[in-house]
Structure 1
Amino acid sequence: MKRVLLVAAVARNRVIGRGPDIPWQVPGEQAEFKKLTLGHALVMGRATFESIGRPLPGRTTIVLTRDRDWTPGHPEVLVARSMLDALAKAATLPDGEVIVAGGAQVYAEAISLASELVISEVPLEPEGDAFFPVIDPALWAESDREHFEGYDRVWYERV
């Protein structure tokens, strides 16, 4: 099975979103996300995909949805009905690792299957309605930290 990484930008209060939006702008964070995810399978929920509006170039997009009638509108996007279905689809791809990229329900389901977390810690406490799961220190240990202007990128490995 391929390595599964959860990648997220998370505020101090665990907020990751408000409606379809990210409630902050941190210069450079999205460019770092692109560098980290290029060449990999990208698993995301339907609402996250729709907020982006298109598949991200250089990555295979797998969209999770329970809506049997939903279609992505892009022939290259794969549709999965469960996290296990998404991981099975990713296993057949030549892409490298599997990157889980949100939203909240997808992170909550995938965290027990992940081998690593890559968290951009944003030093803000915005209002929001989507939250990243609690990172349990009994299960996850910080293995690396990179400082960027406006955020830290923190790598966690499963204990």
Structure 2
Amino acid sequence: MIISIMVAIAENHAIGKNNQLLWRLPADLKHFKDTTSGHTVIMGRKTFDSVGKPLPNRRNIVISRNASLEIPGAEVVTDLDAAIALCEENEEVFIVGGAEIYKMAMGITDKIYLTVVKGNFEADTFFPPIDTRFWEETDKISFEPDEKNAWAYTFSTLLRK
């Protein structure tokens, strides 16, 4: 099994405010969809609430402290270990947020699909620091703002060393 994190962060590691994304970046949304479609996505309940519905064409596993929570179209578990246990050994699984789940997953993650949006944003939710002693950047593509994407951004892939 490959455990991957998929995240978009600002240069100050901001990822959200008031349970919402900080920017609208259609290219990143497409990148997210193209990368995770057909796979299992694992997210916390707050992230699920911000999305509002199960992500289509993906198996959705939601982590909640509320063991009796039922979400049509998603499987609910109470911790990350239980979420991982539901996944197939030969698949790539995507951790897609939020901050608490990312923190829990950093120690078991094999790969990070990282979008960095150029700029610092006011936020109440942040991605944990990435210790470069443990991660190797294998891909990086940079983009300038355009008519659809208001900020410069990069897509990177990091593999655990």
Tell me which interval the TM-score lies in, with the shorter structure as reference length. Answer: over 0.9
- Once the two structures are TM-superposed, the CA of residue 17 in structure 1 deviates from its matched residue by 0.5
Equivalent positions of 1:16-35 (< 5 A) are: 16-35=15-34
1:40 aligns with 2:35: no
The corresponding residue for 1:70 is 69
Moved over 4 A (4+): none
Structure 1-normalised TM-score?
0.92
Give the corresponding residue for 2:93: 98
Q: Which residue of 1 aligns with 2:9?
A: 10
Residue-pair matches, total: 154
Counterparts of 1:58 and 1:146 in 2: how far apart (Å)?
26
Once superposed, what is the RMSD of the aligned Cα atoms?
1.3
Provide the rounded CA distance (Å) in 2 between the counterparts of 1:156 and 1:128. Answer: 24
Q: Distance between the aligned counterparts of 1:90 and 1:48, measured in 2?
A: 20
With structure 2 as the length reference, what TM-score do the two structures score?
0.91
Give SS of 1:36's match.
helix
Partner of 1:152: 154
Report the Cα offset of residue 24 of structure 1. Answer: 1.1
For residue 124 of structure 1, what is the amino acid of its counterpart? G
Gaps of 5+ in 1: none
Alignment pair present for 1:119 and 2:114: yes
Q: 3-state DSSP class of the match of 2:137?
A: strand
Tell me which amino acid in the other structure corresponds to 2:84. Answer: L
Distance 1:81 1:34 in 2: 25
Separation in 2 of the partners of 1:91 and 1:124? 38
- Which structure 2 segments of 5+ residues have no match? 145-151
